[in-house]
Structure 1
Amino acid sequence: MKKPYYFKKLFQIVLLAIFIVLLSTGTAQLEGDNFLWEISGEEGEFYLMGSLHFMPQGSYPLSDEIYNALNNSDLLAVELDLRELDQQLIQQYVQENGLFHDETRLEDVLDEDTYEKIIELTGDFGLAESQVNLFKPWYASQVISDIIFQEIGFESAEGVDLHMIQQAEEQDIKLFELETFEEQMDMISTMDIDLQVAVLKDTLADLDYQADTLVELVDKWHEGEVEPIYEFLFANREENPDIEEYYQKVFDERDSNMKEGILELLPDYDKPFVVVGSGHIINNEGLLYLFENAGFETEQL
């Protein structure tokens, strides 16, 4: 079987889950002009910036306040440095974990309407049904999401985290990765098949609306507005209990691990600059919530 184009981009695709927000953040100040927070406590202080992993061209430069904060730091911490990923490793992972290797096919685990919609969407983008039918549901949902981003002109190469990595390199600021490739991949690929199907169906809901609204959400992100992003995307967690476990795996569990990783950095670095997906910051049990509960003060800049 010919390898789909997406094998080469899988990791960027997995980073789609970038918008998730907080309706109430306790003592957090949500009145700044950037998706950037200053976090301070007895253990130390750091900057915390929410990334959009896919952005349209022309999204830069960002505000001076963001660049000044980075220049005031001696470490940039990100989820992963996408530039260092081995493309052969990604392809091998998809081959082993993203495709069915028994007699099962995608059409066997989906209802007819859902399957036909997927074949239509992926067919318009050049993928043969024989290829798509081998996809496990989790991988099919990532492919479809990537199609949405590409159709509206969003690129992983324009992502905020990559932009900040480039800025840090120019300033000779050290880079640190909070997670590993395997950790990020396994959180999705190991979901049980029923959960994978539920996430896939959720991905397919209101595709046209999602594409139109994503463009508007970038403007809201530039302005540091939290609530509109929540209203668009994270309402799904409240409305669809079938995918609650997905949010727990992709956000809640990782957010807790990220918090511990950041705490380990504070004794050794002077005000690190941390960039993670926006959802990990403003999730109901995300980094703002976790650090506030640990006695830190948070202020949006």
Structure 2
Amino acid sequence: MSRSFHFVSGLSAIAFAALAACSPSGSDEAAMSDEPAVVETGTGAEDTSPEGSAEYRSRDELMAEFDAALEQAQATNGDGSPAIWTMSDEDTTVHIFGTVHLMRPDLDWRTDEFTEKFNSADLLVLELDMVSEEGQQAVARDFLSRGFYGDGRTLSNELPDPVLTAFEEALSGLNLPVSAFDPMEPWMAAVNLSVLQLQSDGFDPNAGIEQILIADAEAAGKEFAFLETAADQAAIFDELPEDTQAAYLYETSITLGDTSRTLDQVVDEWRDGDVEGLGMLVANPDTGGGDGIYDALFVERNENWVPQIEGFLDDVEGTVFVAVGAGHLAGPDSVITLLRDKGYEIEGP
């Protein structure tokens, strides 16, 4: 599976919203166009990779890998609704729910079980603060400060020729010039590219599960808590080696036309509650572990979150609703697996 999809599945909704909002200056008309972008990646850019390069695989290779994982995922089934897990002690109940950060606005995903458990909660726990003004300012500050060069370098001068060629071809379908992205580091350019494509195909950060939960929680007067900071999330990307960032941008560029299809497939698995299938597509160390990406996006963060979730049992009386990216609750290193390995009895798949 391409690096690009693991990055798309790893960002929180507010990060997507902030990144999409910082569309390159002078390109607002293209970014806001109602016409779907058409990006031809079947031939051309992917063929520019150096012969024998392990860094730059072709689109056909990347999508064959995804389709193989998809075939395995579709061979398993859930119970027909998004999964919810529950752990408890004598005075605290913790519900754990997987989210999708960008959704199609017309998708109906709520169930009676979800509504009952969410409404019962006094505290909503999210990955990071998307609620307060301070939290939103931190997202803008930390993502933008880490995602832009700021030292005179430009993206078009820093990228290897095969990556630049692929990026130019992808941008041509969105009617955007590379120069508009020149202040950005490769990871920031890749995330913006993915978000612009998904938005042009009908996905909306405002329809992401977190945004909906925040609005409902505020209306109900719930309290909020957060598992990490915007600086934590931004550092995951910014601290990747430059060649890894370049490879990420390359794979994002040559598979851009497939981005919405792959996310649709993941949403289908999530909506069915097929945790095993979701793990195959999103949190799979065999297809997403190159260059430490899988460890950085999933393993390390899951390990950091588990003690905090345990702490809710000790420190909170009442009901807690934890909502994190669905990929963190699937696969061999999931939050659920880590909690069960520590001896907790958890209801759910």
Give yes or no for TM over 0.5: yes
RMSD: 3.2
Name the SS for the 1:300 alignment partner.
Answer: coil
Q: Is the 8 A contact 1:55 1:159 kept in 2?
A: yes
Higher mean alpha-carbon deviation, 143-152 vs 37-46, is at: 37-46
Name the SS for the 1:199 alignment partner.
Answer: helix
Name the SS for the 2:124 alignment partner.
Answer: strand
Residue among 313, 324, 339 paired with 1:266: 313
Structure-to-structure mapping, 1:181-192, within 5 angstroms: 181-192=230-241
Q: Is the 8 A contact 1:78 1:176 kept in 2?
A: yes
Amino acid at match of 2:146: N
Name the SS for the 2:183 alignment partner.
Answer: coil
Question: What's the counterpart of residue 209 of structure 1?
Answer: 258
Q: Is the 8 A contact 2:18 2:140 kept in 1?
A: no
Q: Is the 8 A contact 1:109 1:197 kept in 2?
A: no
- 1:91 CA displacement: 4.7
Name the SS for the 2:322 alignment partner.
Answer: strand
Question: What's the counterpart of residue 4 of structure 1?
Answer: none
Amino acid at match of 1:100: Y
Question: What's the counterpart of residue 87 of structure 2?
Answer: 39
Higher mean alpha-carbon deviation, 270-279 vs 54-63, is at: 54-63
Q: 1:149 to 1:137 in 2, by over 3 A?
A: same
- 1:159 CA displacement: 0.8
Higher mean alpha-carbon deviation, 109-118 vs 134-143, is at: 109-118
Amino acid at match of 2:104: P
Question: What's the counterpart of residue 132 of structure 1?
Answer: 181
Amino acid at match of 1:190: E
Amino acid at match of 1:73: A
Question: What's the counterpart of residue 75 of structure 1?
Answer: 123
Higher mean alpha-carbon deviation, 149-158 vs 216-225, is at: 216-225
Q: Is the 8 A contact 2:166 2:254 kept in 1?
A: no
Q: 1:283 to 1:188 in 2, by over 3 A?
A: farther
- 1:62 CA displacement: 0.5
Name the SS for the 1:299 alignment partner.
Answer: coil
- 1:270 CA displacement: 2.0
> Unaligned stretches of 5+ in structure 2?
1-12, 21-68, 73-77
Residue among 290, 295, 298 paired with 2:338: 290
Q: Is the 8 A contact 1:251 1:283 kept in 2?
A: no
Question: What's the counterpart of residue 59 of structure 2?
Answer: none
Q: Is the 8 A contact 2:118 2:321 kept in 1?
A: yes
Residue among 190, 214, 225 paired with 1:141: 190
Q: Is the 8 A contact 2:194 2:256 kept in 1?
A: no
- 1:272 CA displacement: 0.9
The one-character-per-residue Cα deviations of 1:90-147 (angstroms, maximum 9, x if unpaired) are: 5544553222234543244433232122123234435432232332111111112212
Name the SS for the 1:271 alignment partner.
Answer: strand
Higher mean alpha-carbon deviation, 209-218 vs 245-254, is at: 209-218
Q: 1:121 to 1:137 in 2, by over 3 A?
A: same
How many residues were matched structurally? 282
Q: Is the 8 A contact 1:56 1:155 kept in 2?
A: yes
User: Percent of aligned pairs with the same residue?
Assistant: 26
Question: What's the counterpart of residue 224 of structure 1?
Answer: 273
Higher mean alpha-carbon deviation, 103-112 vs 260-269, is at: 103-112
Structure-to-structure mapping, 1:1-301, within 5 angstroms: 11-12=15-16, 31=79, 33-40=81-88, 45-60=93-108, 62-85=110-133, 90-234=139-283, 237-239=285-287, 241-243=289-291, 245-267=292-314, 268-300=316-348
Q: 1:270 to 1:54 in 2, by over 3 A?
A: same
Q: 1:229 to 1:269 in 2, by over 3 A?
A: same
Q: 1:262 to 1:15 in 2, by over 3 A?
A: farther
The one-character-per-residue Cα deviations of 1:257-294 (angstroms, maximum 9, x if unpaired) are: 11111122222232311000011111421201110111
Report the Cα distance in structure 1 between the residues aligned to 2:100 and 2:332, rounded to whole angstroms: 18
Runs of 4+ off more than 6 Å:
none
Q: 1:10 to 1:68 in 2, by over 3 A?
A: closer
Q: Is the 8 A contact 1:110 1:197 kept in 2?
A: yes
Q: Is the 8 A contact 1:53 1:161 kept in 2?
A: yes
Higher mean alpha-carbon deviation, 86-95 vs 54-63, is at: 86-95
Q: Is the 8 A contact 1:259 1:290 kept in 2?
A: yes
TM-score, normalisation: structure 2: 0.70
Amino acid at match of 1:139: M
Report the Cα distance in structure 2 between the residues aligned to 1:91 and 1:204, rounded to whole angstroms: 24
> Unaligned stretches of 5+ in structure 1?
1-8, 24-29
The one-character-per-residue Cα deviations of 1:166-196 (angstroms, maximum 9, x if unpaired) are: 2222332222122222222122112221222
Report the Cα distance in structure 2 between the residues aligned to 1:296 and 1:230, rounded to whole angstroms: 21
Q: Which has the higher contact order (CA 8 A, sep 6+)?
A: 1
Amino acid at match of 1:49: F
TM-score, normalisation: structure 1: 0.80
Name the SS for the 1:272 alignment partner.
Answer: strand
Name the SS for the 1:49 alignment partner.
Answer: strand
